[in-house]
Amino acid sequence: MEIAAFQQLMRDLYLENDKRRGKTATTLWLVEEIGELAEAIRRDDRENIREELADCFAWIGALANLYGIDLEEAFSEKYPQSCPTCGRNPCICTD
């Protein structure tokens, strides 16, 4: 699935609910999912990590839709086939 198709699916499924919930509450849901991901990583539960990554991605799509941001475009601009910090591919940054 392309990023644009994913974002459209999230829009079709959840945009009205997301609008009612609002940007702040939607952000809090994302933060909760990130906490669940961290817990799955702590337990080294690969299947749960997979599930929580998908949930985090869905909530990121919800936020992008609420802010009218095209994720595919934003990602392509931020990561134009190279690291935005060092400009290289692969990245040579040392963290």
* Contact partners, residue 2, CB within 8 Å, separation at least 6: 72
Confidence of residue 81 (pLDDT cuts 50, 70, 90): very high
Mean pLDDT value of segment 49-73? 98
Q: Which of the four pLDDT bands, split at 50, 70 and 90, describes residue 95?
A: confident
Confidence tier at 3 by pLDDT (50, 70, 90): very high
Q: For 89, phi and psi rounded to 5 degrees?
A: -140, 110
Average pLDDT over residues 26-48: 98
Share of the chain above pLDDT 70, in %: 100
| Cβ neighbour number for residue 19 with a 10 Å cutoff | 13
Sketch out the chain's domains with CATH numbers. Answer: 3-78 (1.10.287.1080)
